[in-house]
Structure 1
Amino acid sequence: MEENFQTAAPARLTVRGEKTRARIVATAADLMRVRGVGGTTLDDVAAVSKVSKSQLYRHFEDKPALVRAVIEFVGARRIAGERERLGNVRTFAGLRRWRDAVVETNALHEGKYGCSLGSLANEVADQDAIARVQLQDLFTAWEELFADLLRRFQQDGLIPEDADVEQLATGLIAALQGGYLLAQTSRDVTPMAIALDVSIDHLHLLAREHIEVV
């Protein structure tokens, strides 16, 4: 299956072919975000992206190949955005601004659709081993952004030097993803806000204990 996925996007595409492929993937990503992977057919993607079925199959041999391309597209966009948002955070105020922005963005749709990567993981991780590994790598990269942030906190003396940043980063991304899921099912971003607040409050507690010891 992996070889099929690699040959689905030939290296020598024309400029027009690259644009067509990119349009198909972006369209599929938008449809799958709203309808889910299971609710999106190749016919849907072809119709909305305004390509023929033969054009679609020229780029993707089957739906799993297209889904993997969507994961790559969505993942790259999400990680790039989070890197920009988290990359310069060095204070609790900055972390709070990140939290507020995440909650406010999710509130625009009353929590609907959840996290783009989390939703893909829920649908395909148990069905496609290649897609599962893709998603695992993306979540690992996302978690590392939190770990980098926490290392900066350590360097600046905000949290103890012996704090387990990998464990804390796992807690943050778990709170975020759990918050997305609860907000999606309740159509209310309050559970997401609470989950993130609990994780940030834990960091504040570490900070206070560190100051008291110092």
Structure 2
Amino acid sequence: MTTAPRLTAKGRATRDRIVAAATDLIAVRGVAGLSLDEVRRAAEVSGSQLYHYFDGKQALIRAVITRQATAGPSPEIGALDSQEALRAWADAAIEYQERDRGVGGCTLGSLAGELAVGDDEARAELSSGFLSWQGILREGLAAMCDRGDLRADADLDELALALLAALAGGNVLSRTMRTTDPLRAALDAALARVASFAP
């Protein structure tokens, strides 16, 4: 796998542009339909520039996984440490699906659907990304518990996993069925589960 230590600011910007272009193309075509020539044209870089940062399609896909995992489950919303914040997070996820008419962009869930079987390295990286997202959700729930907004008997790991599964599973069904109904139902159920532990 290609790594890019000690990149200049210009080099980081070029590499980020390549990864962003690949992310956008995967959202439309999927991993199987990703063409390095299309990435090169979309990012407006030469072939030598692309291969300077990535030694092939697999290395670029790994960078996309890292980018999406680093964004977290709620890139536009702050800490998920209240019922209101969790509702806003769910609403934002639903709005994102509605805006894209159920296509839903390039998410860890969509990447997992294509890469989790047959590519152990990608599966491990995706799993690590999902665990990171679960940790972010758990931190918010822990803050709620510390404030007394959730009862002490709440299983924070289970609740965080339920929220994450609702997001990922709901996104996959919504992309497949071209409606946000599955995502809305899954997130509403997960939020109701969290709310059930209110004192």
TM-score scaled by structure 2?
A: 0.89
Q: Please say which structure displays the higher CA radius of gyration.
A: 1
In structure 2, what is the equivalent of residue 24 of structure 1?
18
Structure 1 ranges of 4+ moved more than 6 A:
none
In structure 2, what is the equivalent of residue 120 of structure 1?
111
Question: 2-side partners of 1:75 and 1:82: how far apart?
Answer: 11
Question: 2-side partners of 1:199 and 1:21: how far apart?
Answer: 37
Cα deviation, 1:150-197, whole Å, max 9, x if unaligned, reads 212222223220221101111111111111111111111111111111
User: How has the CA–CA distance of structure 1 residues 137 and 34 changed in structure 2, closer, same or farther, with 3 Å as cutoff?
Assistant: same
Write out aligned runs for 1:54-69 (5 A): 54-69=48-63
Instruction: Report if aligned partners of 2:166, 2:190 keep a CA contact under 8 Å in 1.
Output: yes
Superposed CA RMSD in Å reads 2.1
Question: 2-side partners of 1:73 and 1:94: how far apart?
Answer: 23
Cα deviation, 1:3-51, whole Å, max 9, x if unaligned, reads xx1xx23424444433332221111111111111110111111222222
Any stretches of 5+ residues in structure 2 without a counterpart? none
Write out aligned runs for 1:101-180 (5 A): 101-113=92-104, 116-180=107-171
Identity over the aligned pairs, expressed in percent? 40
Instruction: Report if aligned partners of 2:69, 2:133 keep a CA contact under 8 Å in 1.
Output: no
Q: Which has the higher helix share?
A: 1
Instruction: Report if aligned partners of 2:138, 2:156 keep a CA contact under 8 Å in 1.
Output: yes
Question: 1-side partners of 2:34 and 2:160: how far apart?
Answer: 33
How many residues were matched structurally? Answer: 199
In structure 2, what is the equivalent of residue 85 of structure 1?
77
1:43 pairs with 2:4: no
